[in-house]
Chain A
Amino acid sequence: MSDAAQYLVTGLTLGSIYALVALGFVTVFSVTGVINFAQGEFVMLGAMLAAQFVQVGAPLPLAALLAVAGAALVGALVFEVGLRPARGASELAMIIITIGASTAIRGAALLAWGTDPRPLAAFTPGPPIELAGAAVVRQSLWVLGATAAVLVALHLFFSTTAMGRALRACAVNAVAARLVGISPRHTGLAAFVLSGAVGAVAGVVLAPLSYATYDMGLMLGLKGFVGAVLGGMANPSGAVAGGLALGLLEAFGTPISSAYKDAAAFIVLILAMLLRPGGLFGRGLGRGSL
């Protein structure tokens, strides 16, 4: 029983990170129609920048804030420099541009920080907390809390602010949104800034659990993409559900065979997609609503 509780906690923690990455994918995809393969690099930037700022003496909250702002800025750059000049190109061309951006960001991180993993201290030091027979690392609670906070903030942003409503309009129908005066340039930029910031939050809370390395973004990006697709690629709640499902799948798969953990997760996913091609939690195919 306590084993199951332990896997549950691990799975939810891991799943929360995947969910945040998936949220970034879905936000950008809904608004711009682009699958942003640089999404994982935003997570890496969040972790790396936070570790860097703490190392030079910044207090943790400030370091976290600066890291999130930095990744958001890079998100803006990816859109303005890479994607906007290529507007109207095929989806595959857009994907290649984001792959190029992701390679460049990874190279820049390697140049700036080298290959050594960078540590970041846990937000609140102390022994793990006993909970229903499971030992919960305190940082796990930070991960879960941060994910919940981001979800609430995103929900408020999308439902109450003018920019949030503009983004949702774009997601429902880009042409109609343009006809009523919503600039696709502004919404695209906002989507990338938002997904950069959300990705960086994941990186900041993840860093104390696993060291920050320059190449951590690739696998996290893939997992987040899987979560987003599982959720139907159409709405934030689907993305969160997909990310959590993937985390739980991995955690409960570990005792069966840790070597084949990744393979098993993907096999289950492929089977799931074949059985439910509309996404496990989505209402249907294609771009939905934010």
Chain B
Amino acid sequence: MSWLGVPRRDWVILAAVAVVVGAAPLAVSRYYLSILVTVGVYGMATVGLCLLAGYARQISLGHAAFYGLGAYASGLLAARWDWSPWITIPVGVLGSGLVAWLLGRPVLRLSGHYLAMATLGLGIVFQVALNELTELTGGPSGFSGIPSVPLAWLPFNSEVRSLYLVWALCLALLGLALWLVNTRIGRVLRAIGESELAAELLGLDTAAWKVRVFALSAAYAALAGALYAHYVTFLSPAPFGFMFSLELLVMATIGGLASVWGGLLGAGIVVVLTETLRSALPKSLPGSSGELELILFGLALVAIMALRPSGLAGLGRVLLGRWAPRAALATPTEAVEAESVGEAARVGS
């Protein structure tokens, strides 16, 4: 019951999501459409991060840099040199993937916390460069005049056009990721994630594979960033800092790192949670503003992760009473780790 090696269930869900998003403009207002666009953009970046952090288990604390690189590359080429977005977006995506590939070759030799720190460093270097290369990037105040993706031939208003463009690409990339993880490549990545040493003993060139998945996940982030740039038509360095790298990781982990769907789910949960808090709090508690939003968002993160550390993907099955084997909810190692005394002994008992 599968097509291209991907279980039929996944294709059905993919089609269902496409139908729901396709019908959304009929049912909801412009405000909700803009939220959906954001979910699609973040979801794309997060799905890529899941491949890197969930399957190959290589942590990146600097993914906002690749998101920003895609955004700035495509935005600058289109705004300053009048290139068509149809060309600047692929250039931005391929360029960012290439940069990630070049940087990844030395950096991915590191593992664990050193990799986390090196990627964090890359992110901060990128942020500083955006602020300081004033001639090119406009510095801290940024630049505007980025054209939208020319889709005027579509008989919709601009918000709906953005929605369809973002989600068509988001679902295509999600499908690509679903296909990848069900091929030999997916098995290679999982093997590296389980044990790099064991993967190497099986004859895999782990260094090369890690660099490839790093570049691929950077390209996912860059496409998301480029679409974001042409959607908002204005760029400044602020959204591409360390906080956004963390937010991407948060979205991936909440949804379920070791699952492609987790990326989209996590992006949806985080965006909807943030927006709900932002709009509901002032109504229910007059006079309150961003502070309570921060507090509640933080507490929600703690609660979700404390109650369901493997993420929320797969929770639906659990709620429906169809207990999937543990290994299907978490990766095998996670399931084993969760049961081993060693892990339990690490934090409280």
Q: Which residues of A come within 8 Å of B, CB atoms?
A: 32-35, 37, 79, 81-90, 92-97, 99-108, 110-111, 174-175, 177-178, 183-185, 188-189, 218, 222, 225-226, 229, 233, 259-260, 262-263, 266-267, 269-270, 273-274, 277, 285
Contacts and interface: CB of A to CB of B under 8 A. Distances in A.
Contacts of A88: 309, 337-339, 343-344, 347
A43 B338 CA distance: 32
Interface string B331-347: 00010011101111111
A79 B53 CA distance: 25
Contact of B294 (A34, A86, A104, A233): A104
B180 interface: no
A100 B304 CA distance: 10
Given A103-B294, A273-B114, 16 more contacts: A81-B302, A86-B307, A88-B347, A96-B249, A101-B298, A101-B302, A103-B297, A104-B297, A104-B298, A178-B349, A184-B346, A229-B113, A260-B132, A273-B117, A274-B109, A285-B112
B125 A267 contact: yes
Nearest to A257: B132
B5 to A, nearest CB: 27
B302 A177 contact: no
Contacts of A103: 294-295, 297-298, 301
A226 B297 CA distance: 26
A107 B291 contact: yes
B298 A175 contact: no
Contacts of A102: 298
A135 B302 CA distance: 46
A184 B348 contact: yes
Contacts of B199: none
A160 B315 CA distance: 48
B201 to A, nearest CB: 20
B121 interface: yes
Contacts of A89: 305, 309-310, 338
A233 B291 contact: no
Contacts of A101: 298, 302
Given A108-B295, A262-B128, A90 B334 contact: yes
Interface of B: 53, 59, 106-107, 109-110, 112-114, 116-118, 120-122, 124-125, 128-129, 131-132, 242-243, 246, 249-250, 253-254, 257, 290-302, 305-307, 309-310, 330, 334, 337-339, 341-349
B348 A106 contact: no
A267 B106 CA distance: 13
B129 to A, nearest CB: 7
Contacts of B346: 32-34, 87, 174, 184
Nearest to B300: A100
A86 B345 contact: no
Nearest to B309: A89
| Chain A contact surface mostly | helix
A107 B294 contact: yes
B345 A175 contact: yes
Contacts of A79: 348
B125 A263 contact: yes
A270 B306 contact: no
Nearest to A112: B291
A177 B345 contact: yes
A262 B306 CA distance: 34
B290 A110 contact: yes
A105 B298 contact: yes
B121 A270 contact: yes
B274 to A, nearest CB: 11
Kindly name the residue among A32, A90, A92 whose own CB sees the greatest number of chain B CB atoms within 10 A. Answer: A90
Nearest to A32: B347
21 contacts: A32-B346, A82-B306, A83-B306, A87-B344, A87-B346, A90-B334, A93-B253, A93-B305, A96-B249, A96-B253, A97-B301, A101-B298, A101-B302, A104-B298, A107-B290, A111-B295, A177-B345, A263-B125, A266-B125, A269-B117, A270-B107
A161 B246 CA distance: 38
Nearest to A278: B114
Nearest to B121: A266
B132 A259 contact: yes
A267 B110 CA distance: 15
Nearest to A186: B348
A92 B291 contact: no
A56 B59 CA distance: 45
Given A87-B348, A174-B342, A104 B125 contact: no
A85 B307 contact: yes
B291 to A, nearest CB: 4
Contacts of A111: 291-292, 295
